[in-house]
Amino acid sequence: MSESAAIVARNLSRQVEDTEGMLTILDGVDFAIPKGQTAAITGSSGSGKSTLLGLLAGLDMPSSGSVHMLGHDLSVLDEDSRARLRAAHVGFVFQSFQLLPHLTALENVMLPLELAGKPARDPARRMLSRVGLDARLHHYPRTLSGGEQQRVSIARAFVMQPSLLFADEPTGSLDVATGKAVIDLMFALHSEHGATLMLVTHDPGLASRCERQIELVAGRLVRDSGADGVQASG
Ligand SMILES: Nc1ncnc2c1ncn2[C@@H]1O[C@H](COP(=O)(O)OP(=O)(O)OP(=O)(O)O)[C@@H](O)[C@H]1O
Ligand SMILES: [Mg+2]
């Protein structure tokens, strides 16, 4: 089954130590996302959505349970191997953008291409143009608005045409029209390249545009529209 699955989460839990003791942020989350599916992760603030997305993308490691990405068990890979897998397959739009402050918009988007030894300048310009930032190529992040930084972050995630695209509130800082343009771009990447999309969103309209809806409450999966159709384990 892992052959056809983009991501499989099995009994995924994450705990952190805080001043009061152990805090459970995610608790026994199980699901499988088939390749090419579009999935929305919803839930109120603090329910564990960003934590879950980071685990699914291999950016963080669970306290227990496992994530399989394209058939690879992330828990048996070392950090270098996980980084290679991410570089080859994953685009990630962070809720907090995570742009490099000493690089311009264009240089931020060129970076993943350069690291992969690919031509960078023209594809990066084209992607920034698709998110409406032709006039901001040489701006540094601190001189960009929140919505502009978000679009640079989206362009950086898309420019490698990743097969797995994770986006944490990708339209959270955008006005309605720009948000719609960015969402259309994500779904275009999905249909042009068969990319698997996993989106965290508070927007019911965006969630319902996805084939799959997964809802968290206090770190537990309480609703999975695909639970009957897809085996999470086996
Ligand atoms: N490293 C950490 N140490 C302590 N608590 C943490 C840590 N990371 C996350 N948390 C807590 O875990 C809970 C879930 O955080 P997370 O960022 O995943 O929520 P979220 O669903 O993405 O929320 P939002 O919609 O506000 O972005 C929050 O209560 C948060 O304070
Ligand atoms: Mg979050």
**Ligand 1 pocket, 219 CB below 6 A?**
no
135: tokens are: 């006039």
**Ligand 1 pocket, 19 CB below 6 A?**
no
The enclosing domain of 17 has a CATH number of 3.40.50.300
Among all bound ligands, the one having the nearest atom to the CA of 217 is 1
Which pLDDT score is estimated for 234? Answer: 35
Q: What is the pTM of this model?
A: 0.92
**Ligand 1 pocket, 16 CB below 6 A?**
yes
Ordered per-residue pLDDT tens for the chain, 234 residues? 445 799 999 999 999 998 889 999 999 999 999 999 999 999 999 999 999 999 999 999 999 999 999 999 999 999 999 999 999 999 999 988 999 999 999 999 999 999 999 999 999 999 999 999 999 999 999 999 999 999 999 999 999 999 999 999 998 888 888 888 889 888 988 898 899 999 999 998 899 999 999 999 999 999 999 875 444 443
53: tokens are: 């997305």
Give yes or no for a contact between 228 and 69, defined as CB atoms under 8 angstroms apart: no
Segment holding 105, helix H or strand E:
helix 105-115
Which pLDDT score is estimated for 173? Answer: 85
Give residue 30's domain range. 5-231
**Ligand 1 pocket, 46 CB below 6 A?**
yes
CA of 50 to the centre of ligand 2 (A): 4
Interhelix angle 146-158/105-115, nearest 10 degrees: 20
111: tokens are: 């970076």
74: tokens are: 């992330």
Q: How many domains does the chain have?
A: 1
Ligand 1 atom closest to the Cα of residue 202 is 25
Q: How many CB atoms lie within 10 A of CB 179?
A: 19
Interhelix angle 121-130/105-115, nearest 10 degrees: 130
Ligand 1 atom closest to the Cα of residue 48 is 18
